[in-house]
Amino acid sequence: MSSYDVIVIGAGPGGYVSAIRCAQLGLKTAIVEGRETLGGTCLNVGCIPSKALLHATHQLHEAEHNFAKMGLKGKSPSVDWNQMKSYKDEVIGQNTGGVEFLMKKNKIDWLKGWASIPAAGQVKVGDETYATKNIVIASGSVPSSLPGVEVDNDTGVVVDSTGALELPKVPKKMVVIGAGVIGLELGSVYARLGSEVTVVEYMDAVCPGMDKDVQRSFKKILEKQGLNFIMGAAVQGVDATKTKAKVKYQPKKGGDEVVVDADVVLVATGRKPYAEGLGLDALGVKMTERGQIATDAKWATNVPGVYAIGDVIEGPMLAHKAEDEGMAVAEVIAGKHGHVNYGVIPGVVYTTPEVATVGATEDALKAEGRKVKVGKFSFMGNGRAKAVGQADGFVKIIVDAETDRVLGAAIIGPAAGDMIHEICVAMEFGASAEDIALTCHAHPTYSEAVREAALSCGDGAIHA
């Protein structure tokens, strides 16, 4: 029987990053993955392909709406949907191939197939059983189902996020159920491709839990881009044929059930942890009430030598949270001090403009009775944003009213997903808004808006 120090189950961002760190720390490591390619949901059917489509359709939007005013005249490009999907597949291939290269480079064995854990210290893949001192479960998540709605990605009428990346053609009418991250990113893609997109959302605001100012501004901007919203609507079911669907919802405020017609329905109402086939029941691994693997502060399950990270445990279902846990658990296994600061995990929506948040929201802090100060700066006052026609949005920084320590931030605007990291670093170092305000920021950059928001926590922004 081959034996390892660590076998990681699942080669998504949590699993493959964990395997690399284990190998770097001198542990003999293998990774189990049943998909044809490495990289998990994120690289194969999630973050990366959606970003390729968001990028391609953003270029189209620019050509259709903004080129002429910059003196770029001529016919806008027409859409070759199959070619766009090939471009996306090429991007996926480069990324998954990159992970395979990294496995080889770090001498990590890829055990191809689906894993089960017959006993602590053993992992079975196909007919082969391997001995291992440690197991890291990084089996991820899958789209959660909605009662009364049957997803069929093959027919392509009622689809989840995976099916939405592979639609045979661009639909005329698309209904998106759920105004969360997936619904808004993929809804944006199809709206830019010319679909009439209607988002049906149970709550009264988009992206539940996000900063309220951002939610309001975000929805307005998306409406300007042509997305329609039906808020406060609980979807009860979908009736589908092979070519069309009817989405039925109940308005929260009461009244009769309403029906909306669609050529394609995207179900984007959340994801659930995935641990099927691992044999966790028989192994006696404790689960939470929400179906996640229960872990302690060092990602250990109740079974000695078995750890779990990423979407399959509690916390936000984000690739970078899984990566951080993957590195940290490797450190723990190697006898070092793995650590993740759950208070500083950014969240990003990759629409145009991007939306990025970190730390606590103003409302949550106020609800706790904390005295806070808020500094806000609009991209209207940012020269660079104006030069590229992306002056919609703002930076908002929330600080402790007495100490000026940064407690959270939200950005809606160009490159928000990159800019948020300045605030993340500030928070990691316990910085004050004044620390950010006293840091020289290059001109002309979008990041100046972060400094201006920090200035407005004190004596005031300059360009407001």
Residues that bind ligand NAI (CB under 6 A): 146, 177-183, 185, 200-203, 208, 233-235, 268-271, 316-318, 348-350
Among 375, 347, 360, 67, smallest CA distance to 218 is for 347
Among 358, 375, 363, 454, smallest CA distance to 409 is for 358
- Cα separation of 426 and 152, whole Å? 45
Among 153, 127, 143, 106, smallest CA distance to 8 is for 106
Residue with smaller CB distance to ligand NAI, 219 or 376: 219
Q: How far is residue 159 from each of residues 146, 234, 445, measured CA to CA in Å?
A: 12, 18, 40
Residues of 12-36 as b/e, b for ≥16 C-beta within 10 angstroms? bbbbbbbbbbbbebebbbbbbbbbe
Torsional sign, CA 108, 130, 326, 267: positive
Residue with smaller CB distance to ligand NAI, 54 or 283: 54
Minimum distance from residue 75 beta carbon to ligand NAI (Å): 33
Helix, strand, or coil here: 352?
coil
The answer to whether residue 339 is catalytic is no
- Cα separation of 190 and 266, whole Å? 11
Residue with smaller CB distance to ligand NAI, 189 or 391: 189
- Cα separation of 446 and 449, whole Å? 6
Catalytic pick from 65, 339, 421, 443?
443
Among 423, 453, 454, smallest CA distance to 357 is for 423
Residue with smaller CB distance to ligand NAI, 35 or 320: 320
Minimum distance from residue 160 beta carbon to ligand NAI (Å): 8
Helix, strand, or coil here: 144?
coil
Minimum distance from residue 74 beta carbon to ligand NAI (Å): 34
DSSP assignment letter at 73: -
Minimum distance from residue 269 beta carbon to ligand NAI (Å): 4
Residue with smaller CB distance to ligand NAI, 177 or 280: 177
Residue with smaller CB distance to ligand NAI, 108 or 275: 275
**By Cβ distance, which residue is nearest to ligand NAI?**
180
Minimum distance from residue 203 beta carbon to ligand NAI (Å): 5
Minimum distance from residue 280 beta carbon to ligand NAI (Å): 22
Amino acid in the structure at residue 240: A
- Cα separation of 160 and 182, whole Å? 9
Q: Which residues are catalytic?
A: 443
